[in-house]
Amino acid sequence: MELKNKNVHFEDLGQMEYGPCWTYQETLFDEIIAQKRALRNGDALASTKNYLLFVEHPPVITMGKSGAMEHLLINDEQLRQKEVSFYKTNRGGDITFHGPGQLVGYPLLDLDHFFTDIHKYLRLLEEVIILLLADYGLSATRSSGETGVWLDVDTPQARKICAMGVRASRWVTMHGFALNVTTDLSYFDLIVPCGIYGKKVTSLATELGRQIALDEVKERLKYHFEKVFEAKLV
């Protein structure tokens, strides 16, 4: 009988540059993969770990595996002038921005402990954000064919509040979601967000017309993550 480990080690990294954070993710990811390769019986599955990392990055633009360089609207010199870093990454999805006031979450989960279905995994990540936004009175939803969380889908006012992009191997996940809380949205003018033309980006503070404490949002997100994934943060 397989033993499922739904304990998720939580770590708030605070403010951290994208590069070192990506390296840290890869280290944890590789450790989990190595553990799985070494397994010889079902009971040993309980030894593989899960993680949830929270972080706030300095201004950085990242491009996923399906990204197109034409979705980056400025050149290298302009990036330097604006002090914005740029990385091509191994996550899914197109191009996005991370910066101060944005809550970035990186779940590194062994889905053998939960369910082996990446589509379901993405839908549950979206559900965590949808439930969190409902706490603030916002009716958020999904947009067909566009991973992430949106407001006023299928209207001219459609706008994205949370972007998502993940990588998975041997049912282990990395990368994750980026929720705009008090983010300076002008940075998104430097890109075609997620490669989607003609749709806007928003933040929790913009929608509510007031500043929101990032720590408050973190606690609500942790609560909903535990409920939706039937996990325990430790």
End-to-end C-alpha distance for the chain, whole angstroms:
24
Angle at 60 between CA 55 and CA 64, to 5 degrees: 90
Domain span including residue 152: 7-233
Question: Considering the domain boundaries, does residue 1 fall inside one?
Answer: no
Question: Considering the domain boundaries, does residue 133 fall inside one?
Answer: yes
Q: Give pLDDT, residue 113.
A: 94
pLDDT tens digit string along 57-81?
999 999 998 888 999 999 999 999 9
Q: What is the count of structural domains for the chain? A: 1
DSSP codes joined into one string, 178-231: EEESS--GGGGGGB-GGG-TT-EE--HHHHHTS---HHHHHHHHHHHHHHHHT-
CA atoms within 13 A on the CB side of 8: 28
Say yes or no to pLDDT of 45 above 80.
no
Q: Are 174 and 104 in contact (CB under 8 A)?
A: no
Mean pLDDT computed over 171-193: 96
Question: Considering the domain boundaries, does residue 2 fall inside one?
Answer: no
Question: Considering the domain boundaries, does residue 78 fall inside one?
Answer: yes
Element (H, E) at 127: helix 118-135
Report the share of the chain in percent with pLDDT over 90. Answer: 84
pTM of the complete model:
0.94
Question: CA-based Rg of the chain, rounded to a whole angstrom?
Answer: 18
Q: Are 91 and 167 in contact (CB under 8 A)?
A: yes
Question: Considering the domain boundaries, does residue 109 fall inside one?
Answer: yes
Place of tokens 């499922």: 4
Residue type present at position 39: L
Question: Considering the domain boundaries, does residue 172 fall inside one?
Answer: yes
Domain with residue 58: its CATH number is: 3.30.930.10
User: Distance (Å, rounded) from C-alpha 70 to C-alpha 60?
Assistant: 17
Q: Are 94 and 64 in contact (CB under 8 A)?
A: yes
Mean pLDDT score across all residues of the chain: 93
pLDDT tens digit string along 95-137?
999 999 999 999 999 999 999 999 999 999 999 999 999 999 9
What's phi and psi for 72, nearest 5 deg? -95, 115
Coil, helix or strand for 2?
A: coil
Strands (E), the chain: 7-15, 51-56, 60-63, 85-88, 95-98, 102-108, 140-143, 146-151, 159-169, 172-180, 200-201, 232-233
Residue type present at position 120: K
Catalytic sites, residue numbers: 194
Q: How confident is the model at residue 37 (pLDDT cuts 50, 70, 90)?
A: confident
pLDDT tens digit string along 8-28?
999 999 999 999 999 999 999
Strands (E), 17-127: 51-56, 60-63, 85-88, 95-98, 102-108
Coil, helix or strand for 4?
A: coil
Question: Considering the domain boundaries, does residue 150 fall inside one?
Answer: yes
